[in-house]
Amino acid sequence: MKRVLIAAVVTTVTGVCSAQAADPAARPYWTGFYIGLNGGGGSTDGNAPLRNCSTDDSAVSGVGLQPFGCNNAWGGTVGGQIGYRWQAANWVFGVEGQGNWANFSVSPDAADLGSSWQASPGALTLKSRTESLGLMTGQVGYAWDNVLFYVKGGAAVVNGKYKLSAGPNYGYNVPDGTALMSGADTRWGSTVGTGLEIGFAENWSFGIEFNHVFLPDRNFTATEFAPANNLATGTLRVHQNINTSLFRLNYRFGGPVVTRY
């Protein structure tokens, strides 16, 4: 009798193990809420006000103003993300919110901004800076055990500041560094990205991610003109697209991320 019971138990356990081995996607390894940190670098292309990458004067309005040429900004970024993923077989679906502080800035001299700006070296300085960005995206991915590849897309919001200052050779008895015009804007756009994430310990995963943010051109009124300009208002046209490369560390709430091997 004992032999019969032992044989029955062994047969049952063997059957369960065989069923699990035949169905490796039975457990949702990537399902659950997660929270994490990220950091890396980024760049913006052609992100100056008073410009449209040409000599088209329609880029600006105001007496004596001409468009700047193109210039790119580079810098670092840190932030965090929170989201939820749901795994069905090898497919993974998710939603995520990400917020980052950024310092993508550039301060070219007017003489370096293109032939469309008629200024001598040291006369003017433009500072353009992206200060923060947020991404609200959906994800679709494919998992191989503890490795997840995904693509993402959705909405983006970006905050930036822009300032045109007098240089040491500006003249008009205006001190070096005086703000001639400045502005700030918050713009909404869209984003696409891709990433690779690896579970390396229970509930922990590490990954890399690349994002591209599309932002529409925007015109807005600049203020704080220096009296020597004899101008009351001016219009800045800001053009900007953003690229980020990030390292990410996530903690997922729930069962283990790493699968059996």
So what's the pLDDT on residue 57?
A: 42
Out of 29-33, 113-117, 150-154, 252-256, which region has the weakest mean confidence (pLDDT)? 113-117
Q: Is the pLDDT reported for residue 41 higher than 60?
A: yes
Of residues 2 and 97, more confidently modeled? 97
Domain CATH number, residue 71: 2.40.160.20
Ranges assigned E (strand) in the chain: 32-45, 73-88, 91-106, 124-144, 147-166, 179-201, 204-214, 218-222, 234-238, 241-252
What percent of the chain stands above pLDDT 90?
41
Average pLDDT over residues 240-249: 94
Kindly state whether residue 7 falls inside one of the protein's structural domains. no
198 in a domain, yes or no?
yes
Q: Is the pLDDT of residue 65 over 90?
A: no
Q: Is position 229 within any domain?
A: yes
Total count of residues recorded for the chain: 261
Round to whole Å and give the CA distance between 43 and 24.
41
- Residue 161: inside a domain: yes
Average per-residue pLDDT in the chain?
A: 75
- pLDDT, position 221: 61
Q: Is residue 1 in some structural domain?
A: no
235: in domain: yes
13 within a domain of the structure (yes/no) = no
Containing domain of residue 75, as a range?
31-252
